Amino acid sequence: MKEISCTLLVIGAGPGGYTCAIRAGQLGVDTVIVEAKKPGGTCLNIGCIPSKALIHAANEFRTIAEIATGGSRLGIAVGRPELDLSKAVAWKDGIVARLTSGVSGLLKRSKVKIVEGWARFRDGKTVEVETELGLQVIRFEQVVIATGSEPVDLPFLPFGGPIISSTGALELKEVPGSLVVVGAGYIGLELGTAFAKIGSAVTVVEAQAHILPHYDVELTRPVAKRLGELGIAVLTGARVKGPGPDGGLSIEAADGTTRRLAADRILVTVGRKPFTQGWGLDQIDLEMEGPFIRIDDRCRTSMRGVYAIGDVTGEPMLAHRAMAQGEMVAEIVAGHKRAWDRVSIPAVCFTDPEIVTAGLSPEDAKVAGHDVKVGLFPFQASGRAMTLERGDGFIRIVARADNHVLLGIQGVGAGVAELSASFSLALEMGARLEDVAETVHAHPTLSEGILEAALKALARPIHV
């Protein structure tokens, strides 16, 4: 095949890579993107979007099922619902197809050339791609590595048969009777909760002392309570030993006893690792930071003209971080002066209730040497939360004690994911408690909780 050359080559069309390529194309940079699978990467195909589709279907089913069994205080009566999971999965696949073809369209509209196939570095200026039509050699001036991440497996529980990753869980056509989730991070809990809501008997096994180990216990407490209400058994401080003799799982419980857990499916969600194999990292010999590619504040690697973005560069492994990096790198390649100066990368757990974190928790702020003021507003006191039948959770605001500049905002509650932009905007704008307190928040909304938390931190709360 004829060689092609370009100014910018992007490897991987996940949220990091496709955002970078679209922006570069918009800026008139001659750009090629290579993708081995489908545009959209983990996020659109097997991550953020399909998981939230499943969670939505499960929430709808659970709500109707609760009403059917007499759980409604609203005077609504319905018959017992039934779920055809294969139809829900087909609906989810339709959303994925629409979004991934949308990404292809956006790339084309930005005049980005898309090459389908597996890319491999020959050297710091050349990549070869195994395409269906043969080997395509691409020469470039600058390159962005956006190869993403993959699930970590456990050597004694390799993926296959009943042992599935999040990808396998999102493809199930039938609801497993029993499901053991290994790892109580956000992916395991999001999916475990969804399956419990559609009828699986779910057990979560976590080696650490509490669920969502990266979050403080105050934030995770409402989620732990709800898991109990949903009938999900949570075994913390427990270690998986291996598959049980009967197809289930053998674990060492926190008290040291060995237990066998029945499981039609075992979902292993113990983390994700950067995707650094099989594309010729050894040909370009980049400096690493642990398992990740080391980058600076412009996403430059240790080799001139080679950038890296997204999950392959480290935590937090989140789609919006990848996209923000991608946009920045495109502008740098186009000659703009840009550097990473974001105050906050918010994170959302789409558990039940949802958790949002932005900036520092009270504990993190203290560790960073700050004297802090903390305000917390419980949704029990929120009229809007009551009308939604969900008074669990709270909003918490953390500010410097001396000048009241916000350091962090966190929330846990049904629907708080949509408040994440307010949290980030306040932090990014360098807001003080007084700025939030003097902003009129619409009534009745959950967002009033941000106002009330700020007022509480200023020791002048109104509604609590």
Stretch that binds ligand FAD, among 46-54, 57-65, 136-144, 369-377 (CB under 6 A): 46-54
Cα distance between residue 277 and residue 287, in whole Å: 15
3-state secondary structure the chain: CCCEEEEEEEECCCHHHHHHHHHHHHCCCCEEEEECCCCCHHHHHHCHHHHHHHHHHHHHHHHHHHHHCCCCCCCCCCCCCCCCHHHHHHHHHHHHHHHHHHHHHHHHHCCCEEEECEEEEEECCEEEEEECCEEEEEEEEEEEECCCEEECCECCECCECCEECHHHHCCCCCCCCEEEEECCCHHHHHHHHHHHHCCCEEEEEECCCCCCCCCCHHHHHHHHHHHHHCCCEEEECCEEEEECCCCCEEEECCCCCEEEECCCEEEECCCEEECCCCCCHHHHCCCEECCEECCCCCCECCCCCEEECHHHHCCCCCHHHHHHHHHHHHHHHCCCCCCCCCCCCCEEECCCCEEEEEECCHHHHHHCCCCEEEEEEEHHHCHHHHHCCCCCCEEEEEEECCCCEEEEEEEEECCHHHHHHHHHHHHHCCCEHHHHHCCCCCCCCCCHHHHHHHHHHCCCCCCC
Q: Among 8, 9, 10, 16, which residue sits at the site for ligand FAD (rule: CB under 6 A)?
A: 16
Q: Does 310 bind ligand FAD (CB under 6 A)?
A: yes
Q: Out of 214, 336, 443, 463, pick the active-site residue.
A: 443
Q: Does 355 bind ligand FAD (CB under 6 A)?
A: no
Q: Among 9, 25, 47, 168, which residue sits at the site for ligand FAD (rule: CB under 6 A)?
A: 47
Pick the closer one to ligand FAD by CB: 276 or 382: 276
443 a catalytic residue: yes
Q: Does 333 bind ligand FAD (CB under 6 A)?
A: no
Q: Among 8, 9, 10, 14, which residue sits at the site for ligand FAD (rule: CB under 6 A)?
A: 14
Q: Does 85 bind ligand FAD (CB under 6 A)?
A: no
Pick the closer one to ligand FAD by CB: 4 or 254: 4
Cα distance between residue 55 and residue 169, in whole Å: 12
Q: Among 202, 261, 318, 457, which residue sits at the site for ligand FAD (rule: CB under 6 A)?
A: 318
Q: Does 295 bind ligand FAD (CB under 6 A)?
A: no
395-424: contacts with ligand FAD (CB under 6 A):
none
Stretch that binds ligand FAD, among 1-9, 97-105, 314-322, 394-402 (CB under 6 A): 314-322
Q: Among 91, 118, 159, 340, which residue sits at the site for ligand FAD (rule: CB under 6 A)?
A: 118
Q: Does 166 bind ligand FAD (CB under 6 A)?
A: yes
Q: Does 36 bind ligand FAD (CB under 6 A)?
A: yes
- For ligand FAD, what does the binding mask look like between residues 178 and 197, x meaning CB under 6 A? ---------x----------
- For ligand FAD, what does the binding mask look like between residues 230 and 259, x meaning CB under 6 A? ------------------------------
Q: Does 9 bind ligand FAD (CB under 6 A)?
A: no
Neighbours of 85 (CB within 10 A): 19
- For ligand FAD, what does the binding mask look like between residues 125 and 154, x meaning CB under 6 A? ---------------------xxxx-----
Q: Does 89 bind ligand FAD (CB under 6 A)?
A: no
49-68: contacts with ligand FAD (CB under 6 A):
51
Q: Does 48 bind ligand FAD (CB under 6 A)?
A: yes
Residues lying near ligand FAD in the complex (CB under 6 A) are found at: 11-17, 34-37, 41-43, 46-48, 51, 118-119, 146-149, 166, 187, 275, 279, 310-311, 317-320, 322, 350
Residues labelled as active-site residues? 443
